[in-house]
């Protein structure tokens, strides 16, 4: 099946939905296990879910040449996943689900800025969409003159790392096999996080069992499925375009926090969600104008 831009956008949107909802189980899990341990188990489960796909791919490759293992880029992406996940998970422990989702979405403006440095420039419509999304983030997160708490700062650091990860996938997605790429980056993340968790935290079987459902959702849906779909979708979507669609993760996180954790949304925050949606629409303008 050919990956058209519309289908790629659909995959990106679905990934954003899975990531946005994941902020709720991520926060719930913190009552039972440490953040680094959670990340190790999360991506370990994600790795187990993706491994069977490698066997299915082997049947497909039997009559052709199997794709190479992208070790270098996979390890780099894995390191980005480790740092981004740790910063984000620690931040989620000290802030609300809504704030975590909103601040993570700041990569919408960081990606085109960093893209200039690595010669992956964004289109004018992408800049317009990113600017609107940034305004939406401001309406959603800044509620007074006090500023960010420590949890928000950790989540902001994760947004920087996620920006790097998006650009890495943008650069190499069309040259690597998505399943092999996911296996490598999940393996690197699981091993490093588990080792660090054993040293810095005190994981227990009782804690892991108590957090089994949050671990299940995040490991299967927002790790194995969402990150693999990201690699596939970014073959047909520029990094800045993908980042703008990913900014809907903030809206999905806010909605999930409202219905699952009773976190209230003010009129100002709802207006921010609307502005972000406007940014998504602007990001699509190049596909309307370009054919003409």
* Domain edges within the chain: 5-56+68-289
User: What is residue 59's predicted lDDT score, i.e. its pLDDT?
Assistant: 57
The number of angstroms, rounded, from the C-alpha of 224 to the middle of its chain's C-alpha atoms is 12
Question: CA-to-CA distance for 34 and 207, rounded, in angstroms?
Answer: 9
C-beta separation of 91 from 152 below 8 A? yes
User: What is residue 189's predicted lDDT score, i.e. its pLDDT?
Assistant: 93
Beta carbons within 10 angstroms of residue 227's beta carbon: 25
Question: CA-to-CA distance for 243 and 225, rounded, in angstroms?
Answer: 18
In a structure prediction context, what are the per-residue pLDDT tens digits for the chain, which is 292 residues long?
567 877 888 898 899 899 888 888 888 898 899 889 999 999 999 999 999 888 775 555 555 566 778 888 889 989 998 998 889 888 888 887 667 766 777 777 778 777 777 666 666 777 777 788 778 777 766 665 545 678 888 888 988 898 888 888 888 877 888 888 899 999 999 999 999 999 988 888 999 999 999 999 999 999 999 989 988 888 887 777 787 788 777 778 778 877 777 777 778 878 887 887 777 777 666 655 554 4
For the full predicted model, state whether its pTM sits above 0.85.
no
């Amino acid at each position: 099946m050919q990956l058209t831009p519309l289908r790629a956008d659909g995959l990106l949107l679905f990934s954003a939905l899975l990531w946005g909802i994941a902020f709720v189980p991520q926060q719930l899990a913190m009552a039972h296990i440490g953040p680094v341990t959670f990340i190790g188990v999360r991506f370990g489960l994600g790795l187990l879910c993706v491994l069977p796909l490698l066997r299915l791919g082997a049947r497909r490759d039997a009559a052709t040449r199997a794709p190479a293992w992208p070790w270098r880029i996979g390890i780099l992406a894995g390191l980005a996943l480790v740092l981004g996940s740790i910063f984000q998970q620690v931040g989620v422990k000290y802030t609300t689900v809504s704030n975590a989702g909103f601040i993570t979405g700041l990569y919408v403006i960081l990606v085109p800025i960093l893209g200039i440095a690595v010669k992956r420039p964004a289109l004018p419509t992408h800049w317009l969409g990113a600017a609107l999304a940034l305004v939406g983030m401001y309406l959603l997160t800044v509620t007074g003159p006090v500023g960010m708490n420590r949890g928000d700062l950790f989540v902001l650091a994760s947004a920087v790392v996620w920006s790097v990860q998006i650009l890495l996938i943008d650069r190499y997605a069309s040259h690597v096999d998505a399943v092999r790429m996911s296996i490598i980056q999940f393996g690197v993340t699981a091993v490093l996080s588990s080792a660090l968790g054993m040293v810095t935290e005190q994981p227990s079987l009782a804690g892991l069992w108590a957090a089994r459902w949050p671990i299940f959702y995040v490991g299967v849906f927002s790790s194995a499925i969402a990150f693999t779909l990201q690699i596939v979708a970014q073959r047909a979507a520029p990094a800045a375009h993908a980042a703008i669609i990913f900014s809907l993760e903030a809206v999905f996180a806010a909605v999930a926090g409202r219905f699952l954790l009773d976190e209230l949304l003010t009129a100002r925050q709802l207006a921010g969600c609307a502005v972000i949606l406007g940014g998504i629409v602007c990001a699509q303008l190049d596909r309307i104008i370009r054919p003409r």
